Amino acid sequence: MAILNGKALAEARRKKDWTQVELSEATKPKVDVSTISRIERGKPTRVRANTLRALAKALDVQPESLCPAAEAERDVMKLRIEAAARNALTLVAHRYRISRESIIEIAPLLFFIAAEQSLEERRTRIADVRASADALFDLYRRIPHLPPEWPIDEGAVSSEERSIKARDLFGKKVLEDAQQFLSEFDDDFDEGEHNPFVRFLRDRLSKIDTSAELAESVRWTPGLWPNYRVCTEEAASVVGNDTTAAQAILSGAAALHEMPKGSPEQRAEWARAEFDRKYGDLDDLLGELVTPRGADTQASNSRGAS
């Protein structure tokens, strides 16, 4: 008996541009169309060796290419994700008792939903801006001795409308056009935090979780990978509620698929060591970040004076 993967079979059949009936008719010995349909609908299925050979010969592929191991190897080579995202995938799967494969397969649909909702919100907001501008302009014109002036930056608004029409999720076109309409951004503007898609994701997270930390953890600079922290409770449970070790998991410094077996305390020790190995001691790093600029120089001068 051989194990045949339905997805691999369907993919090979579609490359031939065949229906299931046409594939059935092309096999020798003939494989019934109901068998082909059952295989393609289900999980990896056991079939007779001659059935696998007949299907592979009809499709002009190697029998191994229709097996799960070969398909999994192709997927691994095509898809590489950061350790933090891989950890998040495992933690989410554990939280909701669902396979990681199912989450990956539903991810395109969920991203499509989020993307379209974010664009629709932007359409609504820019339409509200135009409606409010019209109303304000009508009020302004009731004072005839004042010079007429359009109350919004037309260049900026038009740029946002073009961005939405182009499905520019991160508003990159607006930033590229900024010099043309002479708009200035706030000094604290951060493209990774304040682009429209991240703002949408943060808003949605804030509505389902009372912790501001979760929403604020989302960063995504266009062209780079997204950063976020989810399933903090599940990460903590892996390492016996050790806060530092849990942060090492959430940041990707400690990869769950590399974590050795052992007690929660042993796992926590390993996770902290992984963080230190990759990023240096966390306490020292935080100490450097909070040291006031010039403090070392002042301390040196003080010692010299004494």
What gap in Å lies between CA 89 and CA 79, rounded to an integer? Answer: 14
Question: Does the structure show a pLDDT above 90 at 102?
Answer: no
Q: Give the 3-state secondary structure of residue 122.
A: helix
Is the pLDDT higher at 112 or at 7? Answer: 112
Instruction: Determine the pLDDT at residue 118.
Output: 98
Identify the bridge partners of residue 47 per DSSP, sorted by sequence position.
Answer: 2
- Residue among 6, 2, 67 nearest 36 (CA): 6
Question: Does the structure show a pLDDT above 80 at 282?
Answer: no
Mean pLDDT (the chain, rounded): 84
Is the pLDDT higher at 137 or at 64? Answer: 137
Q: Is 1.10.10.10 the CATH number for 2-78? A: no
Give me the residue spans of the domains in the chain.
2-78, 86-194, 231-294
| Tokens standing for residue 197 | 């898609």
Q: What is the pLDDT of residues 210-229, one digit of tens each?
A: 777 888 999 999 888 899 99
Instruction: Determine the pLDDT at residue 44.
Output: 59
Instruction: Determine the pLDDT at residue 75.
Output: 44
Q: What is the pLDDT of residues 133-176, one digit of tens each?
A: 999 999 988 998 988 888 888 888 999 999 999 999 999 988 88
What gap in Å lies between CA 20 and CA 63, rounded to an integer? Answer: 18
Percent share of the chain, pLDDT over 90: 46
Instruction: Determine the pLDDT at residue 69.
Output: 54
* Mean of pLDDT values over 272-292: 68
* Mean of pLDDT values over 68-86: 63
Q: What is the pLDDT of residues 236-265, one digit of tens each?
A: 999 999 999 999 999 999 999 999 989 999
Find the range with the poorest average confidence among 52-56, 158-162, 172-176, 286-290: 286-290
What gap in Å lies between CA 232 and CA 214, rounded to an integer? Answer: 9
Q: What is the pLDDT of residues 116-138, one digit of tens each?
A: 999 999 999 999 999 999 999 99
